[in-house]
Structure 1
Amino acid sequence: MYPPAGWSKIYDIDIERLHRYRVGRLHAEMDKRDCDALLLFDPVNIRYATGARNMQIWTMHHPARYCLVLRTNKIVLFEIGGRAHHARGLPLIDEVRVAKPWFYYYSGPGTALHVKDFAAEIADLVGVGPLGSAKKRIYVDRCDRQGGRALEDLGLVLIDEAQELMEQARSIKSEDEIAAIRLAIDVCETGIARMKAELRPGITELFLWSKLHQTNIELGGEYIETRLLTSGARTNPWHQEASQKILERCDLVSFDCDLIGPLGYGADLSGAFVCGAAPSPEQRDLYQRAYDQIMFNTDLLHVGTAFSDIIEKARYLPDEYLQWHRVAHGNGMSIGEFPAIGRRPGYAKGSIHDGRIEEGMVLCVGSFAGLRCGGEGIKLEHQLVIRANGPERLSSSLYDPDFCA
């Protein structure tokens, strides 16, 4: 759960202070909603509330562990097999218990019994109160219908709004969190430099992409959320995944790191290289369009500015270019956090996030420049923190003199 040896001093990260801040944010959001208990299954939410990680990717699709945050300040972590070593050294976990998951791989035909045992233990900890008293309100992020019904059968009021609560709590970072994000970005930018050093005709996209993964794991990071590195014509449209395509001389290579580094914090940086040659005039033009859009939109991000005003005033590429759907988005313990400032295709206009820029938000600003008619495309993105006097850049890899010479 800690940074690699010596890094906590370099980055001035106080682990206990970091955890106390996060739990304080949770309790403040619980108080706003009159929430008696917070039941979390999402491993990223569990990590935020407790600091404990365990099989993060596996438990994203197998709900085998969970935690309960009580308004009384008690935190109970339910681990696979009750493995307490995952909580060792973490200051705010009061108790580790054996998790009682009821998904089919674990419980098989015993699901009905397992889910009742799970619900009974949660109800006992929350305290349902005597008959006729006010029912306890429990917010849940991910819980299937069986689990929800079992909790409600025991007198709990289940509210499916824990993700909103968590996103709001996570949206404002402490200085310890910002230091942890700097650490993740430094790991990520080290990986970007290693990819550039390995760049040459004849290698595959996946070979190049593996260098970022290797760097992240070697330096204490955890995983990468996507597989976004493409080359040549595969760079447009964006969101194609890395493949066995062989890089050729003069290919544009573009990537989006989506990296979760040490301590579970993310670096969402995008960039581009040209394989074995200087960028062509067309590649320079794509880069400059994306870069200028990002820098213009970054300057809109000031404390108190309404998200709607940012969307209205933002710079967009001409209609002949594919348009990136976000002006900016939050980033922290996952690559996409509140807020998401922009209009996502397919969603009603009124569904965009409402709110204002706040001090302590960590945001990513990105662009994709690629013609609708085809050809190469370039994805760029950088990461920053909002200060009282404006945005402060946390990443340094956005500007590339190779494209500007």
Structure 2
Amino acid sequence: MSSNGFTAAESAVMANEIASLVRERCGEIGTLAVDSLPFAAVDALRAEGFAISDADVLMSRTRRVKLPLEIAYMREAMRRTVGAVRQMEDALRPGMTENEVWSRFVGALIAGHGELVSTRLLESGPNTFPYFNECGTRVIEAGDLVCLDTDAIAFESCSVDFSRTFLAGDGPARPQQRELYQRAHEQLLHNTSLIGPGVEFEAVARNAWPVPSEHRSSRYYCIGHGLGMIGEYPNLPFHVEGQPYPLDDEFVPGMVFCVESYIGSSDSGEGVKLEDQLLITDTGVEIMNDYPFEERLLSQTQRR
């Protein structure tokens, strides 16, 4: 809707058109459910005699199951994003700034006909703890952990969301870095193993990998989240003993769901971010991102 600077007047025109269409096709209806409209447009619909309710409950549950064409689009988006991450990892060297490394990812994505990246979640060394620092001018040093969360929009407005943590330089990882990485990897694989068609959200939360106490205050805020054109329903919260679980729902085929893992340490001032993007199928799950883990940080027994 373009208001041409006359928001209230144009909203009234739009609301009148909507009211005419609704009454012509549906008769007298007292309530309209609205997904997203400007305040002025909502007020205008109320002035037409409608009560307004929130359509998010209906729309979010409708969007969670992807059409076959949407899944095909998301696969193509993933292909473009994985290629860009590979080029970024190949370019990663000590002496580069975080911004330089991140630009290699974004540049490769755009050169490969991707669309945009919605965050700047690349961090290194001490910037990896706590999580959610965005990239900046810090110069990456040999032996630094480097975390990337893709958050890419790569094809037909479809999102791609997986995370990997790399080790800068050619040297070996430090023992505490390996411990953090292996715990994050264990959390990722364990929680992924709980998910499948017909599995209730609460069952996943109750049986999720128990985050050790020393990492709990800095853990990721949810077990995982749905994905489509943006992050979507559900944001799966952790189970809290003694409190009712807020989501009474289950995984169904056609959902795309991202499993999150972050393990950080206040002692070392570092953290590891891992994440996989899953497609729920009729028989289980498919990991959509074909991207390896960092071998120097992962012991032989924990490879997938």
Shift of 1:344: 9.5
Shift of 1:156: 3.1
For residue 46 of structure 2, what is the aligned residue in structure 1?
152
For residue 80 of structure 1, what is the aligned residue in structure 2?
none
1:316/1:323 contact within 8 Å kept = no
1:356 to 2:246 alignment: no
Deviations along 1:279-312, one digit per CA (max 9) or x if unpaired, are 2222222111111111111110022111111111
The alpha-carbon distance between structure 1 residues 181 and 349, as it changes in their structure 2 partners (threshold 3 A), is: farther
For residue 39 of structure 1, what is the aligned residue in structure 2?
none
Of 221, 229, 233, the match for 1:338: 233
Alignment RMSD, CA only? 2.3
1:243 to 2:136 alignment: yes
Q: Which moved more, 1:144-153 or 1:202-211?
A: 144-153
CA distance in 1, matches of 2:7, 2:237: 42
1:235/1:378 contact within 8 Å kept = yes
Task: Give the 5 Å matches for 1:132-281.
Answer: 134-135=28-29, 137-159=31-53, 161-277=54-170, 278-281=172-175
Q: Which amino acid aligns with 1:339?
A: P
Deviations along 1:231-253, one digit per CA (max 9) or x if unpaired, are 00110000011111111111111
- Normalising by structure 2, what TM-score? 0.89
Q: Which amino acid aligns with 2:32?
A: I
1:285 to 2:179 alignment: yes
For residue 21 of structure 2, what is the aligned residue in structure 1?
125
For residue 91 of structure 1, what is the aligned residue in structure 2?
none
Task: Give the 5 Å matches for 1:5-16.
Answer: none
CA distance in 2, matches of 1:177, 1:402: 36
CA distance in 2, matches of 1:169, 1:206: 38
Shift of 1:145: 3.3
* Structure 2 counterpart SS, 1:320: helix
Of 286, 297, 317, the match for 2:211: 317
Shift of 1:374: 4.6
Q: Which amino acid aligns with 2:258?
A: C
Shift of 1:176: 2.2
1:111 to 2:4 alignment: no
Shift of 1:138: 2.6
* Structure 2 counterpart SS, 1:230: strand
For residue 295 of structure 1, what is the aligned residue in structure 2?
189
CA distance in 1, matches of 2:25, 2:189: 55
1:129/1:135 contact within 8 Å kept = no
The alpha-carbon distance between structure 1 residues 158 and 213, as it changes in their structure 2 partners (threshold 3 A), is: same
| Structure 2 residue ranges without an equivalent (≥5) | 300-304
1:384 to 2:278 alignment: yes
Task: Give the 5 Å matches for 1:43-122.
Answer: 99-101=1-3, 106-107=4-5, 110-122=6-18
CA distance in 2, matches of 1:300, 1:233: 32
CA distance in 2, matches of 1:180, 1:145: 33
CA distance in 2, matches of 1:244, 1:354: 44
Deviations along 1:250-291, one digit per CA (max 9) or x if unpaired, are 111111111111111111110111111332222222111111
* Structure 2 counterpart SS, 1:358: coil
Deviations along 1:139-178, one digit per CA (max 9) or x if unpaired, are 212224322121122233422x222222111111223222
- Normalising by structure 1, what TM-score? 0.68
The alpha-carbon distance between structure 1 residues 235 and 318, as it changes in their structure 2 partners (threshold 3 A), is: same
* Structure 1 counterpart SS, 2:213: coil
Q: Which amino acid aligns with 1:195?
A: M
